[in-house]
């Protein structure tokens, strides 16, 4: 649970991290050089333009002549065009680098996520993984595409500016440049506290959103408990915190600009004072004073940019760490090189070498421990013949799900082995097993797309006829044809336009279309209407026939018709037999059955069925 | 439709009026900033022209008087630092005003955001139950968050920006026209083009943003579906295809983002080109005039600086104006919530003791215009008794319970408790003393301790533990990692349906209940625990009238009497023994036990044969 707490940024600048990232951005190195070149050009031109003004003052105005103005215009226009072109080019190229880096990191990250085992997903909530590939990646790409280049522009500008000033008047330049270090230091400190203040605002803001969320979703319960006023009071506290932290952040920003500008104006004032004196004794031209004054005014922008980028670098580095740690995680369930050489890996299967899967499943002295150390199974043995239906019953946390996950090789045993058709499944590829596996979850998960797309999910090449046959086998065609576009109806994100029962039926059709030798079902507990319930029961029976099946069963009818019922308690099989055998035993199963019988029947009667 | 809804613009003005001093202060700050930004170039120009040069000063007399008193131009030439000091002084002054403007407009806009947030939250809490049954959560949250944010941004930044720009333009025009009309015209020749370009192009860019956001949304959706469906992906061995699917969405987003970026490159590049061209024209015109001696170098500085400081705000104005319209729409969306009538206040309502008989007298109820859910119901529940309610789906049993807390009002007929009609009883009083436990209770994202004590202002630990014990919740609470401090909900642990129900029972028990209602709120608890909870309750509920909706015969049979509902009517009532003797729903429920025994016998006799389902 600690995993998704956002870390604080305490680490120092880590060069190797950025080197790794730049290596990922390798395809864009050429573009980065182009951008760097044009940005530097921009910076140089920014330094040149004040010189043009000074030239005009000294040569046309002071000398009271317009001779040479056309040439001046031509040069000015030429430089202006160059400036606009380089702005345009670096904006485009930077954007190219940014979007390209984003794309590349996301592609790598997504690919990695397809390889990582479930033990990884157990530790990382979906929201956490999402934000690695969305926000963090975006921030990194922004840093690479823009921040580093802003840095380059600022540095070139400052250097050129300083050089130019030294050339014009080194004594004056020396003093003016003295203002830079304190300016930079203050800017940096300020930017850091401003960023921290806004981070606080964002944190409070998410509390506000959470507050509204709860206020709205819990409104009905709140009424029954007469808690309105207390809720309002609690929300009011958060809202006031939001107000004060926002004002604090805004105040800091409002303070920053005046201080930096005033500090910068010291340099301007000095240039005006000393430069003016030099003009009076004829040591300097009016134009040169003008140049000094405009440089000192412009100094401030690059210093502020650089300070901001350094302040942001810390949080970008935290993002970089998180993204790289995802990219560098090694999956712990992998096909060994020997296995992959024969059967192929997850992305490049060699189907021609795959043996037929019959469906004998054996647990040989299997122990399993979760990453956090929790021991779920120890020395567990089980032998299942091909074609048998096994129902697993027992309380939550007894180990039922672990057994099923081990069968699917979503986890591997920490000790012992799981054999399929007599061979340890680690000697076959993951894809071989999973291509022979049918899987229906308690809460069925569909993907956006049409009904047909979803049924076809495990076999994209299935014909329309095969899709229909699969739907007919589980009696799903009735409701599918009743929908607006039949098989071409969009199911919505996660299938949310369909009812739970409909989703279940489609997930059965999806499983049956693959004609798997092994079938795993985590039966739903949520109630659906009676008619759908009967159709689903029928679908289950259809799917089970002729396959080795493991069912985490909740409904009595499903349990009763299994070939073998296993009662699992604390990772051990405590009862094992058919329905009749276990009823005769009068043990845990008997208790469960009699209690649940009343409940199920009662509900059936009230639903108007039976 | 809703006559009391105010116009959005009027609401906006009202909000501004409440913070008028902050706004005025910020406005003064803005004006002063603009004035100083005009003074600085003048200072430089005067230094160049009249201090370093020999041109007579054009400054007003009241400013020149003290200088002359000190020794005039000669004095300033010898003490040039004064000009520098004035420059620093102006910048400091500008800084002070910038700061006050920034802070005051933040205070004003944050006050307004606070007001809106509190109004919205408070109103949402006070809206009737029926509103929340129909409400679409996502849309409401959107209004409470992003719409408030739109208004806040408009008030804190955009208004000042518009004021600032308009002031800049007007004053620049006035001053520059006073100096030289034709140079002014040349200096402004591209300004309208710049403004229109910024405005027109921003619309395009804006569309680009929307297109990109959509593409990003699609990409996130593929990612989200993949991550939450990871088991399905693996079970069907579809990793390769998922990678391709994501790649398509990822590429599309890249394409859209790149397209937007290219648009922005044109937007910024074009704006820069126009601005720089305008600066060049100004400089050249000034140079030509100055070389003829018609204007001074100082005037040149004034022209180039004034025009320079105008360009960026003009470009922003185009953007701000096309953005600002949204705030009125946001205001309207917020008003829509605020103008929905809340539960009315009833100052004269009674607060009687609720230990009396509950009487339903010809009560009919329908949701909105729909067919009635309860039809002409009449029955009496004697004080202090335990009454079970049995009814099928759609029989109206839950609605019946809602009416007892005045979450809805009967369409016709009268419900009374202890002879007092419900409509005369204060809602808060009623709900405080009628405990209603819903079938699917909502838990707050707080610790379990806070959730159990949620109905009390100062819950004491021993009372909380006691209530949890009665609700058979203590066991799983103390067994969890952080015990009573375990966080519930999104950021914490997910409780099972049965655990939630038990927490809900515990929290309701802590209220001072005269009447206690279980709306099928033991359905997800196993039968043994169910019995345990009811046994523990029986010891505590002396004098309390209890209503229990259930389908479990053990629960039903222990009630003092049972109401059987079908299709919105009471079709039967009586004790367990009476109802068992009559054919009907109750008898069938009671028979399950026999059916089960029969089946078990059957199983024992014929162990080898299949039992039909």
pLDDT tens column, B55-79: 888 788 888 888 888 877 888 888 8
Of residues A165 and B496, more confidence is placed in A165
- Do residues A461 and A323 both lie within one domain? no
Highest averaged pLDDT of the listed ranges A121-125, B466-470, B492-496: B466-470
pLDDT for the residue A233: 92
Burial (0-12, 13-18, 19+ Cβ within 10 Å), B129: middle
CA distances from A536 to A501, A503, A518, B563 (A): 8, 11, 19, 33
Tell me which residue range forms the domain holding A244: 9-328
pLDDT for the residue B239: 87
Sheet hosting strand B515-519, strand order edge to edge: B434-437, B515-519, B545-549, B386-391, B561-566, B569-574
Asked if A35 and A87 touch (Cβ cutoff 8 Å), the reply is no
pLDDT for the residue A214: 86
Q: Helix H segments across B471-584? A: 474-479, 497-509, 527-540, 553-557, 576-581
Band the pLDDT of B604: cuts 50, 70, 90.
Answer: low
Residue of A nearest to B135 (CA): A216
- Do residues A321 and A448 both lie within one domain? no
Domain boundary among A455, A489, A515: A515
Q: Which residues pair with A166 in a beta bridge?
A: none
Domain membership of residue A552 (yes or no) is no
pLDDT, tens digit (0-9, with 9 covering 90-100), for B191-226: 999 988 888 888 888 888 889 888 988 898 889 888
Q: Quick check: A247 pLDDT over 90?
A: yes
The DSSP letter of residue A367 is E
The beta-carbon neighbor of A458 closest among B238, B290, B607 is B238
Cα separation, A99 vs B76, in Å, equals 57
Closest CA to A513 of A466, A549, A545, A451: A466
Residue of B nearest to A55 (CA): B287
Residues of B within 8 A of A537 (CB-CB) are 613
Kindly state the greatest CA–CA separation across chain A: 119
- Of A9-18, A524-533, A551-560, least confident by mean pLDDT is A524-533
Write the CB contacts of B202 (distance below 8 Å, at least 6 apart in sequence): B267, B318, B319, B322, B323
Asked if B524 and B470 touch (Cβ cutoff 8 Å), the reply is no
What is the domain class of B358-605 according to CATH?
alpha beta
Domain boundary among A457, A490, A515: A515
B-contacting residues of A 22-61, CB under 8 Å? 52-53, 56-57, 60-61
Q: Quick check: A530 pLDDT over 70?
A: no
Residues in chain A: 610
CATH number at residue A475: 3.40.50.300
Asked if A191 and A311 touch (Cβ cutoff 8 Å), the reply is yes
Domain boundary among A470, A497, A515: A515
Band the pLDDT of B491: cuts 50, 70, 90.
Answer: low
Q: Do A560 and B507 touch (CB under 8 A)?
A: no
Of residues B397 and B593, more confidence is placed in B397
Write the CB contacts of B547 (distance below 8 Å, at least 6 apart in sequence): B381, B386, B387, B388, B389, B401, B404, B515, B516, B517, B518
Domain membership of residue A361 (yes or no) is no
Cα separation, B564 vs B335, in Å, equals 45
Write the CB contacts of B86 (distance below 8 Å, at least 6 apart in sequence): B43
**Tokens at A531, concatenated:** 């008619």
Provide the domain count of chain A: 2
**Tokens at A583, concatenated:** 């009823």
Q: Do B393 and A606 touch (CB under 8 A)?
A: yes
Domain membership of residue A164 (yes or no) is yes
- Compute the nearest-CA separation of B271 from chain A (Å): 10
pLDDT, tens digit (0-9, with 9 covering 90-100), for A251-303: 998 998 888 888 888 888 888 888 888 888 888 888 888 888 888 888 777 88
Highest averaged pLDDT of the listed ranges A327-341, B242-256, B547-561: B242-256
pLDDT, tens digit (0-9, with 9 covering 90-100), for A408-458: 888 889 889 999 888 888 888 888 888 888 888 777 888 888 999 999 988
- Of A358-372, B13-27, B409-423, least confident by mean pLDDT is A358-372
CATH number at residue A237: 1.20.1560.10
Band the pLDDT of A75: cuts 50, 70, 90.
Answer: very high
A-contacting residues of B 34-73, CB under 8 Å? 44, 47-48, 51-53
Q: The pTM is what? A: 0.81
Cα separation, A278 vs A221, in Å, equals 80
- Compute the nearest-CA separation of A462 from chain B (Å): 14
pLDDT for the residue A500: 79
Mean pLDDT of the residues in chain A: 85
A417 at B interface, C-beta within 8 A:
no
Burial (0-12, 13-18, 19+ Cβ within 10 Å), A84: buried
Half-sphere exposure of B504 (CA within 13 A, CB side): 31
How are beta strands B420-421 and B412-417 bridged, if at all?
antiparallel
* DSSP secondary structure, A145-204, as one string: IIIHHHHHHHHHHHHHHHHHHHHH-HHHHHHHHTTHHHHHHHHHHHHHHHHHHHHHHHHH
Q: Quick check: A5 pLDDT over 50?
A: no
Q: Quick check: A2 pLDDT over 50?
A: no
Q: Helix H segments across A349-499? A: 400-407, 430-435, 451-455, 464-473, 477-482
B292 at A interface, C-beta within 8 A:
yes
Q: Do B265 and A95 touch (CB under 8 A)?
A: yes
Band the pLDDT of A148: cuts 50, 70, 90.
Answer: confident
Cα separation, B585 vs B391, in Å, equals 8
- Compute the nearest-CA separation of A511 from chain B (Å): 8
Percent share of chain B, pLDDT over 70: 97
- Do residues A46 and A178 both lie within one domain? yes
pLDDT for the residue A286: 81
pLDDT for the residue A528: 62
CA distances from A102 to A99, A140, B251, B267, B554 (A): 5, 8, 10, 23, 62
pLDDT for the residue B480: 79
Half-sphere exposure of A377 (CA within 13 A, CB side): 28
Half-sphere exposure of A49 (CA within 13 A, CB side): 23
Q: Do A226 and B243 touch (CB under 8 A)?
A: no
Closest CA to B302 of B40, B28, B601: B40
- Do residues A447 and A316 both lie within one domain? no
Q: Quick check: A8 pLDDT over 70?
A: no
Sheet hosting strand A423-424, strand order edge to edge: A375-384, A361-369, A415-420, A423-424
Q: Quick check: B26 pLDDT over 50?
A: yes
Half-sphere exposure of B124 (CA within 13 A, CB side): 31
What is the domain class of B1-178+326-342 according to CATH?
mainly alpha
Cα separation, A551 vs A522, in Å, equals 6
- Compute the nearest-CA separation of B32 from chain A (Å): 14
Domain membership of residue A149 (yes or no) is yes
pLDDT for the residue A6: 42
Mean pLDDT of the residues in chain B: 86
ipTM of this complex? 0.84
Kindly state the greatest CA–CA separation across chain B: 128
A258 at B interface, C-beta within 8 A:
yes
Average pLDDT, stretch B123-151?
Answer: 87
How are beta strands B358-365 and B374-381 bridged, if at all?
antiparallel
Average pLDDT, stretch A388-393?
Answer: 89
Cα separation, B569 vs B378, in Å, equals 9
pLDDT for the residue A609: 58
Residues in chain B: 613
pLDDT for the residue B606: 56
Q: Which long-range contacts (CB under 8 A, 24 or more apart) does A367-370 make?
A: A367/A413, A367/A414, A367/A415, A367/A416, A368/A402, A368/A406, A368/A411, A368/A413, A368/A414, A369/A414, A370/A119, A370/A122
- Do residues A122 and A254 both lie within one domain? yes
Closest CA to B377 of B392, B365, B366: B365
Band the pLDDT of B610: cuts 50, 70, 90.
Answer: very low
pLDDT, tens digit (0-9, with 9 covering 90-100), for B265-292: 998 899 999 999 999 999 999 999 988 8
- Do residues A21 and A154 both lie within one domain? yes
Average pLDDT, stretch A94-100?
Answer: 92
Sign of the alpha-carbon torsion through B64, B66, B68, B71: negative
Cα B188 to the center of its chain, rounded Å: 45
Residues of A within 8 A of B229 (CB-CB) are 445, 447, 494
Q: Which long-range contacts (CB under 8 A, 24 or more apart) does B602-605 make?
A: B603/A579, B603/A580, B603/A583, B603/A584, B604/A583, B604/A584
- Of A24-38, A317-331, B147-161, B476-490, least confident by mean pLDDT is B476-490
How are beta strands A437-440 and B434-437 bridged, if at all?
unpaired
């Amino acid at each position: 649970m600690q995993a998704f707490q956002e870390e604080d940024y305490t680490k120092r600048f880590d060069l190797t991290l950025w080197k790794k990232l730049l290596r990922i951005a390798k395809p864009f190195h050429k573009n980065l050089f182009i951008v760097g070149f044009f940005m530097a050009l921009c910076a140089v031109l920014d330094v040149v333009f004040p010189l043009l003004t000074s030239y005009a003052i000294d040569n046309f105005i002071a000398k009271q002549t317009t001779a040479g103005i056309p040439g001046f215009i031509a040069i000015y226009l030429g430089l202006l065009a160059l400036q606009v072109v380089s702005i345009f080019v670096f904006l485009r190229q930077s954007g190219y680098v940014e979007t390209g880096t984003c794309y590349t990191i996301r592609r790598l990250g997504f690919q990695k996520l397809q390889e990582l085992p479930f033990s990884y997903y157990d530790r990382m909530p979906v929201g956490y993984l999402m934000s690695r590939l969305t926000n963090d990646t975006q921030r990194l790409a922004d840093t690479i595409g823009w921040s580093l280049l802003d840095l380059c522009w600022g540095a070139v500008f400052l250097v050129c500016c300083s050089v130019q000033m030294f050339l014009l008047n080194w004594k004056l330049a020396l003093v003016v440049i003295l203002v830079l270090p304190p300016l930079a230091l203050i800017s940096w400190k300020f930017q850091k506290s401003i960023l921290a203040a806004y981070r606080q605002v964002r944190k409070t803001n998410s509390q506000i959103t959470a507050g509204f969320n709860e206020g709205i979703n819990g409104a009905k319960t709140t009424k029954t408990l007469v808690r309105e006023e207390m809720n309002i009071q609690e929300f009011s506290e958060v809202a006031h915190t939001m107000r004060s932290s926002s004002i604090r952040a805004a105040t800091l920003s409002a303070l920053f600009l005046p201080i930096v500008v005033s500090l910068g104006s010291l340099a301007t004032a000095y240039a005006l004072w000393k430069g003016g004196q030099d003009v009076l004794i004829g040591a300097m031209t009016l134009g040169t004073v003008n140049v000094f004054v405009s440089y000192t005014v412009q100094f401030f922008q690059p210093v502020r940019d650089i300070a901001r980028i350094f302040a942001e670098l810390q949080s970008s580095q935290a993002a970089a760490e998180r993204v790289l740690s995802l990219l560098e995680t090694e999956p712990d369930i992998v096909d060994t090189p020997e296995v992959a050489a024969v059967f192929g890996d997850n992305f490049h299967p060699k189907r021609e070498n795959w043996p037929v899967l019959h469906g004998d499943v054996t647990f040989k002295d299997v122990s399993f421990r979760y990453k956090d150390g929790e021991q779920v199974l120890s020395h567990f043995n089980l032998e299942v013949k091909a074609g048998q239906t096994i129902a697993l019953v027992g309380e939550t946390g007894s180990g039922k799900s672990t057994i099923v996950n081990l069968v699917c090789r979503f986890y591997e045993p920490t000790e012992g082995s799981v054999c399929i058709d007599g061979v340890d499944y680690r000697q076959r590829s993951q894809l071989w097993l999973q291509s022979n596996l049918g899987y229906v979850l308690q809460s069925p998960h569909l993907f956006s797309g049409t009904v047909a797309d979803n049924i076809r999910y495990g076999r994209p090449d299935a014909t329309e006829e095969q899709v229909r046959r699969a739907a007919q086998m589980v009696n799903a065609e009735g409701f599918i044809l009743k929908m607006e576009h039949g098989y071409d109806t969009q199911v919505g994100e996660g299938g949310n336009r369909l009812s739970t029962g409909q989703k279940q039926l489609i997930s059965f059709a999806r499983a049956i279309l693959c004609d798997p030798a092994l079938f795993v079902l985590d039966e739903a507990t949520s109630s659906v209407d009676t008619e759908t319930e009967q159709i689903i029961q029928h679908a289950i029976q259809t799917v089970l026939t002729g396959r080795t099946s493991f069912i985490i069963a909740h409904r009595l009818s499903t349990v009763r018709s299994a070939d073998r019922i296993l009662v699992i308690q604390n990772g051990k099989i405590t009862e094992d037999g058919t329905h009749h055998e276990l009823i005769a035993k009068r043990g845990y199963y008997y208790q469960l059955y009699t209690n649940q019988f009343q409940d199920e029947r009662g509900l059936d009667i009230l639903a108007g069925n039976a | 439709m809703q006559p009391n809804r105010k116009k959005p613009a009027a609401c906006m003005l009202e909000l501004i009026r409440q913070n008028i001093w902050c706004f005025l202060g910020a406005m003064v700050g803005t004006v002063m900033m603009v004035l100083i930004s005009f003074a600085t170039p003048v200072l430089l120009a005067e230094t160049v022209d009249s201090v370093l040069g020999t041109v007579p000063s054009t400054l007003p007399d009241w400013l020149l008087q003290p200088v002359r008193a000190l020794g005039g131009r000669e004095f300033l030439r010898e003490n040039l630092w004064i000009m520098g000091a004035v420059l620093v002084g102006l910048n400091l002054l500008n800084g002070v005003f910038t700061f006050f403007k920034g802070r005051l407009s933040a205070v004003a806009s944050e006050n307004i955001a606070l007001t809106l947030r509190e109004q919205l939250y408070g109103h949402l809490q006070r809206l009737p139950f029926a509103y929340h049954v129909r409400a679409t959560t996502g849309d409401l949250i959107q209004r409470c968050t992003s719409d408030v944010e739109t208004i806040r941004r408009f008030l804190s930044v955009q208004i000042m920006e518009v004021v600032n720009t308009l002031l800049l333009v007007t004053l620049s025009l006035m001053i520059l026209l006073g100096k030289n009309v034709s140079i002014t015209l040349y200096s402004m020749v591209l300004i309208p083009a710049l403004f229109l370009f910024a405005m027109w192009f921003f619309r395009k860019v804006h569309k680009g943003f929307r297109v990109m956001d959509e593409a990003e949304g699609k990409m996130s959706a593929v990612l989200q579906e993949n991550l939450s469906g990871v088991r399905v992906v693996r079970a069907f061995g579809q990793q390769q295809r998922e990678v391709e699917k994501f790649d398509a969405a990822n590429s599309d987003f890249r394409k859209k983002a790149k397209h937007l970026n290219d648009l922005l490159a044109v937007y910024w590049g074009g704006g820069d080109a126009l601005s720089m061209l305008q600066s060049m024209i100004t400089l050249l015109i000034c140079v030509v005039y100055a070389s003829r001696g018609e204007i001074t170098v100082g005037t040149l500085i004034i022209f180039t600086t004034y025009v320079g400081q105008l360009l960026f705000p003009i470009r922003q104005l185009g953007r701000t104006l096309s953005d600002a319209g949204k705030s009125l729409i946001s205001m309207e969306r917020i008003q829509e919530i605020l103008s929905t009538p809340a539960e009315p206040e009833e100052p004269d309502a009674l607060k009687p003791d609720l230990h009396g008989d509950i009487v339903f007298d010809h009560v009919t109820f329908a949701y909105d215009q729909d067919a009635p859910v309860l039809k002409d119901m009449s029955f009496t529940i004697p004080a202090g008794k335990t009454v079970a309610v049995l009814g099928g789906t759609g029989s109206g049993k839950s609605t019946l319970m809602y009416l007892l807390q005045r979450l809805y009002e009967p369409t016709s007929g009268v419900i009374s408790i202890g002879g007092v009609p419900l409509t005369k009883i204060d809602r808060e009083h009623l709900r405080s003393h009628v405990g209603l436990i819903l079938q699917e209770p909502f838990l707050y994202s707080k610790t379990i301790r806070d959730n159990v004590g949620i109905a009390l202002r100062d819950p004491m630990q021993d009372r909380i533990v006691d209530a949890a014990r009665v609700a058979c919740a203590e066991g799983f609470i103390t067994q969890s990692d952080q015990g009573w401090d375990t966080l519930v909900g999104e950021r914490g642990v997910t409780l099972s349906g049965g655990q939630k129900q038990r927490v809900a029972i515990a929290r309701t028990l802590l209220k001072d209940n005269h009447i206690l209602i279980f709306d099928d709120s033991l359905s997800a608890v196993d039968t043994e625990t169910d019995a345990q909870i009811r046994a523990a309750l029986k010891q505590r509920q002396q004098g309390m009238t209890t209503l229990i909706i259930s389908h479990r015969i053990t629960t039903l049979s222990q009630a003092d009497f049972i109401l059987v509902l079908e299709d919105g009517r009471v079709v039967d009532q009586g004790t367990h023994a009476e109802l068992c003797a009559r054919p009907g729903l109750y008898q069938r429920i009671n028979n399950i036990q026999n059916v089960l025994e029969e089946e078990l016998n059957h199983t024992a006799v014929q162990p080898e044969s299949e039992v039909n389902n």
